[in-house]
């Protein structure tokens, strides 16, 4: 992230006081998951963040109005989105729909939205219809708030969306949009009328509806092409940041069932999904191979001097985490005793010698560690001021977990250069083609691996103070890398804690693709990572990262490493491990 700019998607810490509490949000999540299962009739459905999932992973429901902000949306809007998802699962065959999607991104979006509206039109419960209408109204307001309608393509998309929904459901167009779309609607009427009639006539049958939806999508794509030829991309909305955040949900992923790709694609390939222009300069290094031992000792001295007054004691951390990091195991301390639990293996002795008393065993229950925790640190430029506090925080957490025999790793991610480095120069020599994917050399750093004790890692953790390593951030690939390492650890339960101060940002990648390219990849990576034995926690430094992570906390950067910040992370770990069967 550029240290001179405020991270995109950033929320002031003070803003969080107005959002829902964690307990309330979890209650709402459970309620919405219940709505999904009840209305769809599918008992395997659940939610991961805002995304619906089943036993195979996240589901490809990509209509943009399905994903209101979990933190800001009203309950009726959230319920409307859940009802819409449930109706889609009830009335649509996702495999048939997916196999028929066209290649064009614009056409895919239109077909996706039309199929979603078709399913919503089949709602027969008045309360559900009311929830759906409320969610659609809120989405229209969000669209207008983003100012995307100020572009030629934006007003076209808004018009066909609200008109198509009104046609399929028989409900009036939202009052917020009626006047705005009137001119565009009138311009489209002659060519669009018959297509709309076909959509409404076939709405009760997915197979009959699909050809009409494809024709309608082709019509919209042709109009968008005409707009681009006549006006270019059009002027951008004046409030660029808001529009960028909103446009994130307009992406229709090519492979929503699969995890995002983590392997390089061929140079020059602008294929669908996540791509990498040139991975030959990527690196994974241990900090001890990057920073000289003498410098690590100096950095350790600096760290101790800078943070000695605000370090949290280790004993309370151990006390809070001990009940949840171990599985209960029965241990037989004494056999052939005269008291305790009857030993089944000694029943024959009791039968042959009724007076025999040495048929008991003494059993105690102890905890056997079965947990692994990885801390993944954003080492982009804007994180430099937080390096010492972050190292102090990790010092205490890793030491406590180590004493509890919990396997830990501390990893970091940055780039090998600013502004694209060698891959960008290669791209420029090739004529700077558009849409080629990640365009920088990623640098993954290991500060502590799973085989190293906390004591032996003390100097390596001080390597966080090597500020020349902090450049830009490619979060999605780093999360996949950390999860791959975590999966190799022999542990029944795993937790990945990602510490960052905002959204992913790499200037060269944004230039070659779009500024939300890396954010979409991170969101897709997290959604695909859902697994009962694995939990992801997002820790935002001075910002709210709950748009990406279902479990998220925010810390004040100025007090990192003190009792309060340490307690917040410990409680997040307790919550995660408690959900996974920990014994609190």
Q: For residue 349, count CB atoms less than 10 angstroms from its CB and return exposed for 0-12, middle for 13-18, buried for 19 or more.
A: middle
Cβ(373)–Cβ(406) under 8 Å? Answer: yes
Q: Model-level pTM?
A: 0.53
Length of the chain: 584
Closest C-alpha among 186, 217, 181 to residue 199: 217
- Per DSSP (E only), the strands in 389-480 are 407-415, 442-448
Q: How far apart are CA 420 and CA 266, in angstroms?
A: 18
Average pLDDT, the chain: 82
Give pLDDT, residue 327: 59
Token pair, residue 476, equals 């999605």
Helix (H, G, I), strand (E, B) or coil at 49: coil
Strands 442-448 and 493-500 come out as unpaired
Q: How far apart are CA 213 and CA 199, in angstroms?
A: 7
Complete edge-to-edge strand list for the sheet that includes strand 57-58: 46-48, 51-54, 57-58
- From first to last of the 584 residues of the chain, give the pLDDT tens digit: 443 333 333 333 333 333 455 567 667 878 888 899 999 998 888 876 677 877 656 678 888 898 887 667 788 889 999 999 999 999 999 889 988 988 887 888 899 999 999 999 999 999 999 999 999 999 998 888 877 788 888 899 999 999 999 999 999 998 889 888 999 999 999 999 999 999 999 999 999 999 999 999 999 999 988 887 776 544 444 443 334 334 333 344 433 333 333 333 332 222 336 899 999 999 999 999 999 999 999 999 999 998 888 888 999 999 899 888 875 544 445 565 555 555 555 555 555 555 555 655 654 545 567 899 999 999 999 999 999 999 999 999 999 999 999 999 999 999 999 989 999 999 999 999 888 899 999 999 999 999 999 999 999 999 999 999 999 999 999 999 999 999 889 888 899 999 999 889 899 999 899 888 999 999 999 988 888 889 999 999 999 999 899 899 999 999 999 999 999 999 999 998 885 443 33
Q: Which contiguous run of DSSP H or E holds residue 537?
A: strand 534-541
Q: Which residues of 8-35 are buried (b: 16+ CB within 10 A; e: fewer)?
A: bbbbeeeebeebbeeeebeebbeebbeb
Strands 57-58 and 407-415 come out as unpaired
Q: How far apart are CA 212 and CA 197, in angstroms?
A: 9
- Which domains are present in the chain? 21-247 (no CATH), 283-320+370-414+440-579 (3.40.50.410), 331-365 (no CATH)
Q: How far apart are CA 69 and CA 462, in angstroms?
A: 38
- Per DSSP (E only), the strands in 247-342 are 283-286, 326-337, 341-342
Give pLDDT, residue 295: 96
Within 8 A by CB and 6+ apart from 519, the residues are 8, 9, 248, 503, 504, 548
Q: Which contiguous run of DSSP H or E holds residue 96?
A: helix 94-99
Token pair, residue 366, equals 């102890």
Q: How far apart are CA 144 and CA 419, in angstroms?
A: 33
End-to-end CA gap in the chain: 38
Cβ(52)–Cβ(89) under 8 Å? Answer: yes
Give pLDDT, residue 24: 72
Which residue carries 């694609």 as its tokens? 265
Q: How far apart are CA 574 and CA 321, in angstroms?
A: 6
Give pLDDT, residue 240: 39
Torsion angles phi and psi, residue 156, rounded to 5: -65, -45
Cβ(414)–Cβ(445) under 8 Å? Answer: yes
DSSP per-residue string spanning 454-507? TTTTHHHHGGGG-GGG-B-B-HHHHHHHHHHHHHTS--SEEEEEEEESSS-B-H
Q: Which residues of 473-487 are buried (b: 16+ CB within 10 A; e: fewer)?
A: bbbbbbbbbbbebbe
Helix axes 105-121, 206-231, angle to 10 degrees: 140
């Amino acid at each position: 992230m550029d240290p001179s700019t405020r991270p995109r998607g950033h929320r002031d810490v003070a803003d969080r006081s107005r959002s829902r509490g964690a307990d309330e949000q979890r209650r709402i999540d459970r309620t919405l998951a219940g709505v999904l299962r009840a209305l769809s009739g599918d008992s395997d459905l659940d939610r991961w963040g805002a995304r619906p999932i089943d036993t195979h992973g996240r589901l490809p429901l990509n209509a943009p109005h399905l994903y209101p902000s979990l933190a800001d949306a009203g309950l009726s809007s959230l319920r409307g989105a859940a009802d819409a998802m449930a109706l889609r699962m009830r009335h649509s065959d996702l495999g048939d729909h997916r196999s028929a999607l066209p290649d064009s991104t614009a056409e895919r979006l239109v077909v996706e939205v039309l199929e979603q509206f078709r399913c919503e039109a089949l709602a027969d419960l008045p309360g559900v219809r009311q929830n759906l209408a409320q969610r659609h109204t809120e989405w229209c307001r969000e669209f207008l708030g983003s100012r995307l309608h100020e572009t030629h393509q934006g007003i076209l998309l808004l018009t066909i969306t609200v008109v198509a929904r009104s046609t399929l459901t028989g409900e009036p167009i939202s009052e917020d949009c009626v006047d705005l779309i009137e001119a565009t609607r009138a311009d489209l009427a002659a060519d669009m009328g018959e297509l709309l009639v076909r959509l409404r006539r076939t709405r009760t049958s997915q197979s009959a509806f699909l050809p009409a939806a494809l024709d309608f999508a082709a019509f919209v794509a042709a109009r968008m092409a005409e707009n681009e030829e006549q006006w270019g991309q059009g002027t951008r909305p004046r409030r660029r940041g808001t529009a960028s955040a909103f446009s994130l949900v307009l992406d229709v992923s090519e492979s929503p069932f699969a995890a995002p790709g983590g392997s390089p694609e061929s140079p020059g390939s602008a294929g669908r999904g996540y791509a990498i222009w040139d991975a030959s300069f990527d690196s994974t290094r241990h900090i001890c191979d990057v920073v000289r031992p003498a410098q690590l000792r100096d950095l350790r001295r600096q760290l101790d001097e800078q943070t000695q007054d605000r370090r949290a004691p280790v004993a309370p951390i151990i006390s809070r985490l001990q009940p949840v990091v171990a599985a209960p195991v029965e241990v037989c301390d004494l056999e052939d005793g005269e008291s305790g639990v009857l030993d089944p293996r000694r029943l024959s002795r009791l039968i042959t010698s009724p007076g025999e008393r040495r048929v008991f065993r003494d059993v105690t229950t102890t905890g056997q560690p079965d947990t692994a925790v990885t801390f993944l640190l954003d080492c982009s430029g804007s994180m430099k001021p937080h390096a010492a506090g972050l190292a102090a925080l990790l010092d205490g957490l890793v030491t406590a977990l180590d004493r509890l025999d919990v396997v830990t790793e501390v990893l970091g991610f940055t780039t090998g250069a600013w502004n694209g480095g060698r891959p960008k120069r290669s791209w420029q020599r090739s004529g700077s083609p558009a849409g080629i994917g990640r365009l920088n050399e990623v640098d993954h750093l290991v500060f502590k691996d799973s085989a190293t004790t906390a004591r032996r890692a003390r100097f390596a953790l001080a390597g966080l103070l090597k500020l020349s390593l902090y450049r830009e951030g490619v979060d999605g690939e780093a999360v996949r890398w950390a999860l791959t390492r975590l999966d190799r650890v022999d542990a029944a339960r795993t937790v990945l804690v990602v510490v960052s101060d905002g959204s992913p940002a790499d200037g060269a990648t944004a230039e070659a693709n779009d500024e939300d390219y890396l954010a979409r990849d991170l969101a897709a990576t997290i959604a695909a990572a859902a697994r009962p034995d694995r939990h992801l926690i997002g820790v935002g430094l001075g910002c709210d990262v709950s748009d990406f992570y279902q479990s998220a906390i925010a810390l004040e950067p100025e007090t990192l490493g003190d009792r309060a910040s340490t307690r917040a992370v410990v409680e997040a770990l307790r919550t995660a491990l408690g959900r996974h069967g920990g014994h609190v």
